[in-house]
Structure 1
Amino acid sequence: MCKFEIDILGVYEAPNTHPVISKKGSDAWWYMSVEDLLPEKYRDKASDYQKGYDTMDVWFDSGSSWAAVLEKRDGLNYPADLYLEGTDQHRGWFQSSLLTSIGTRGKAPYASVITHGFVLDEKGLKMSKSLGNVVDPNIVIEGGKNPKESPAYGADVLRLWVSSVDYSGDVLIGPQVLRQMSDIYRKLRGTLRYLVANLHDWKPDNAVPYCDLPKIDQHALFQLENVVISIRECYENYQFYKIFQIIQRFAIVDLSNFYFDVAKDRLYVGGTASFTRRSCQTVLAAHLLSIVRIIAPILPHLAEDVWQHLPFEHAIEDGSLAKFVFEAGWPDPDERWLALPVEDIDLWEKVLELRTEVNKVLETARGGKLIGSSLDAKVYLHTTDADLASRLHGICVASNDADALHRIFITSQVEILALLENELIDSIAYKGEHLIQGKSRVWIGVSRAEGSKCERCWNYSTKVGSFPEHPTLCCRCYNVVNIQSAPDMAAVC
């Protein structure tokens, strides 16, 4: 019998009763007799076996690690969930592990295998000391002798880079790539700081029930829940670069460009305990708790830093407080957030696209010196799509200020025109027609806002000057200053 066959008998078949290799190491082969190498039940037939001295596959030791590691150590399971190595291991570790496990256990030692490419410099060249293009992870994390040339990025930036690349092929790294990763990291940190800062006076008891939230807030939670689901699927499929892309687009771009931008008015201008501010904080708290937990596997230091500075305590399922981010677990799914009616989803997609087109006309008006801030403007909308016109009109007269269309456009007024009269068209210098979702044609016009500018919120209103005690305030700001509840119909001011 060859050396491999004796190893199988002595090491794999009875590892607990005859652990030769685990006790004496692989050198035992050279000085122990055949009889001593064999399991006890085979020793009476030692004369039928002989030791072989041919060189074995050099990957045999690592290829048998599943037996020494997975089966021998508490807390580990055989087969492994995943074997991870470079593409050079297709005929190395992966192959030898598969052969030894199939030969002795009848199944593969792993449930899944992931292979990755090699790390190259920014020009796509192999790293070598002679070229001086080697990127040392320790220097990336801790910095080099020259802080300007080799700044200390920290482990999270390096981990963020790892998550950003498609490891199925060769990947590039270098100073420029790391600077880009550092910029993205800082922007993400800025998003989290915004969330933490605007929740400084919020507690879970302040949360507004989902059914009472404004439509804009329900839509924001709908988007958040879909992001959490998508990212979980990517983690389960080891598609980390997709997680990076989703987080970058959602947490850095989409939130900042729309929801955060619109939310500033009710966060900073409304009363501290007003309904619209509390509803906004309810949504911000949900985003903070979700984002910090979904980024934790990739950016543990940032996630833990945020968790330790939460302005409120978060309880987990058993009622205890999560002292650390990894104790909090994955965000619990909320079916209500996903149950947003299809017609509402469609409307908000149109509103977001319409907002982009309105911003283009506002920018043109700004360039023509008609307005400075977008709050200087009044927007006119007209569409022959009766359903869209009706729903836009419904937003204009929303029962709460948060859903008001002029708040979404960050203008002082919005008017939906039933008819497009030539006299009005001629009087508006900045206008244009735009297709929304490729089918609904919407005419957009911009003029100066009506009324006077409120010195507190900078919105224009015909109500400014109506309050003798505060003649420079609009009705919303007047109510806030006088410590009264801001009226839900503030949109009419």
Structure 2
Amino acid sequence: MVCIGGWFPTSCYGCNWKSELDSSAENRIIAMTCSRSDWCISRQRTWGVPIPVFYHVHTKEPLMTEETIEHIRNIVADKGTDAWWYLPTEELLPQKYHDVASDYQKGTDTMDVWFDSGSSWAAVLTKNEGLSFPADIYLEGTDQHRGWFQSSLLTSIATTGKAPYSSVITHGFVLDEKGLKMSKSLGNVVDPDIVINGGKNTKDEPGYGADVLRLWVSSVDYSGDVLIGPQVLRQMSDMYRKLRGTLRFLLSNLHDWKPEYALLYKDLPKIDKYALFQLENVVNSIKDSYENYQFYKIFQMIQRFAVVDLSNFYFDVAKDRLYVGGTVSFTRRSCQTVLAAHLLSIVRVIAPILPHMAEDVWQNLPFEYVMEDGLVPKFVFELKWPSLKGDWLAMEADDVDFWNTILELRSEVNKVLENARIGKLIGSSLEAKVILHAADGATLTKLREMCSATNDADALHRIFITSQVETVNSLSDEFLSTVPYTGKYTSQRTSEVWVGVTHADGAKCERCWNYSPQVGSFVDHPTLCARCYGVVDVQPLPAAAGVC
């Protein structure tokens, strides 16, 4: 029996242990341990690690010295722990006790398994080269606040005055989709092998692969109980396919790319700078979440950024530059510069969670990547974490706010375009012209500048994926009567913006499908707009890079 109440509280607070990751777990462990008065470290079992103590036959006085323990340790090292049970007392005692061996009998108690496992830090951390004491993290279930976490803390503070771990991470338990405990009788047990490889009936039990199972693990907040089942796995599989589609888009549109084609950051269009600003922020946030073991936040960020933000905005807008612009045009190369940056970052941040997908991407990389030290990594895990790009984060706050406004305005424009589509005014959004008006002069000026941007990538009609966008200074009744579909965008960041949609001016270019008054102006290519005429004039074949 070990008395705890007298020394532990003072020693524990004196060592000043604080869990760096989970303060609530820290509070529970210390509170439970401090409320404990004693600890019985012996058990009356016929199995386990024997307590190497001898008792005098008549006085019952225990005999356990450093000498006797060392002698028994050498015997156990040679013959195993069973030697305690089958060897006679005379052999278990050191030589100097042989004459009085008949006065002693060996104890039959075994060590409490929690004392045994709770002292594992001494056997592992202090004995093996490359490991250090204390451990960075102890990981176990929430039930171990009274178990392993506590016994480890007791044995370590008692002998070293320090906690055996810098932090603890506690996790809940895996339940079925209904929140029920898994059991064979209920038939709700989820077998990881079947999840990965599939069951006998692949229709009912399809094999999702290891990455989908790992993706599910990353998606849940393990600090509490987590749910898994067929529906959950189907959702994870859908997410996996969407992420794979994002990476396929990046790979396919870099088929003719080389790192030496990359443009300098200062020369990039504003939309590309904004994309890199978003990427750098996401990568930094993911890094912080990895360091704090908050994998579910990583899942959420990857889902929102790589699957939603990129696909729904940047990729959508980029297709015109990638497929219609000239192969080596500035707008296409600037877009590829951004796509390459995204691919090289995303493949590294997903690798710890989705190693098979990341390696698959890396083995199909369409260009050679050379690291800063001159090495060419053959495998994805030879890569280092993406280095911080300070200039990518240096975007002015006002510019960031304005781009956020443009994205919100784009959502409102899409609503008006959808109404125009329902009303049969247009089919595709490229058949539309968008008209904007803002009461605030500064906002109107910025919108007007984007309408007439010399850099085609930053032009509003490219961002809205329409053929034309123009601004008006005022909204007269006469003018309003000519605009069949309208809407309004309001935000705390800017004044109200009026949105109108009419049919685009001019004829449809047969190459890019944009409408333009310039179609029909070129004798040798009467069905092309000015942009496409300039492309085919120097490049006879289409520049499109098909999506896999």
Provide the TM-score with structure 1 as the length reference: 0.91
For 1:103-118, what aligned pairs fall within 5 Å after superposition? 103-118=158-173
Q: For the Cα contact (< 8 Å) 1:381–1:442, is it kept in 2?
A: yes
Within the alignment, does 1:160 sit opposite 2:215 as a pair?
yes
Within the alignment, does 1:465 sit opposite 2:520 as a pair?
yes
Task: Map Cα deviations across residues 31-54 of structure 1 (whole Å, 9 max, x no partner).
Answer: 48699689x9xx9xx9xx996544
Task: Map Cα deviations across residues 285-333 of structure 1 (whole Å, 9 max, x no partner).
Answer: 0000000100000000100110111111112231111111111121111
For 1:55-454, what aligned pairs fall within 5 Å after superposition? 55-437=110-492, 439-454=494-509
RMSD of Structure 2 on Structure 1 (CA): 2.9
CA distance in 1, matches of 2:363, 2:484: 53
Q: For the Cα contact (< 8 Å) 1:10–1:20, is it kept in 2?
A: no
- CA apart distance, 1:107: 1.4
CA distance in 2, matches of 1:438, 1:213: 25
In structure 2, the CA distance between the partners of 1:388 and 1:37, relative to structure 1 (3 Å rule), is farther
* Counterpart AA for 1:274: S
- CA apart distance, 1:397: 1.6
Task: Map Cα deviations across residues 95-144 of structure 1 (whole Å, 9 max, x no partner).
Answer: 12222222222212211111111101111111111111110101111110
The structure that has the greater radius of gyration is 2
Q: Secondary structure at the match of 1:76?
A: coil
Q: Secondary structure at the match of 1:114?
A: strand
Q: For the Cα contact (< 8 Å) 2:175–2:228, is it kept in 1?
A: yes
Task: Map Cα deviations across residues 11-66 of structure 1 (whole Å, 9 max, x no partner).
Answer: 9x999x9666655544455548699689x9xx9xx9xx996544432222222222
Q: For the Cα contact (< 8 Å) 2:75–2:83, is it kept in 1?
A: yes
Name structure 1 gaps, 5 residues minimum.
486-493
Task: Map Cα deviations across residues 351-371 of structure 1 (whole Å, 9 max, x no partner).
Answer: 000000000000000000000
In structure 2, the CA distance between the partners of 1:21 and 1:255, relative to structure 1 (3 Å rule), is farther
In structure 2, the CA distance between the partners of 1:254 and 1:294, relative to structure 1 (3 Å rule), is same
- CA apart distance, 1:68: 2.2
* Counterpart AA for 1:254: D
For 1:467-486, what aligned pairs fall within 5 Å after superposition? 467-483=522-538
CA distance in 2, matches of 1:394, 1:34: 98
- CA apart distance, 1:77: 2.5
CA distance in 1, matches of 2:412, 2:76: 72
Count of matched residue pairs: 480
Q: Bigger shift: 345-354 or 431-440?
A: 431-440
In structure 2, the CA distance between the partners of 1:268 and 1:14, relative to structure 1 (3 Å rule), is farther
Q: For the Cα contact (< 8 Å) 1:354–1:436, is it kept in 2?
A: no
Q: For the Cα contact (< 8 Å) 2:84–2:92, is it kept in 1?
A: no
* Counterpart AA for 1:433: K
In structure 2, the CA distance between the partners of 1:434 and 1:28, relative to structure 1 (3 Å rule), is same
Q: For the Cα contact (< 8 Å) 2:89–2:105, is it kept in 1?
A: no
In structure 2, the CA distance between the partners of 1:198 and 1:10, relative to structure 1 (3 Å rule), is farther
Provide the TM-score with structure 2 as the length reference: 0.82
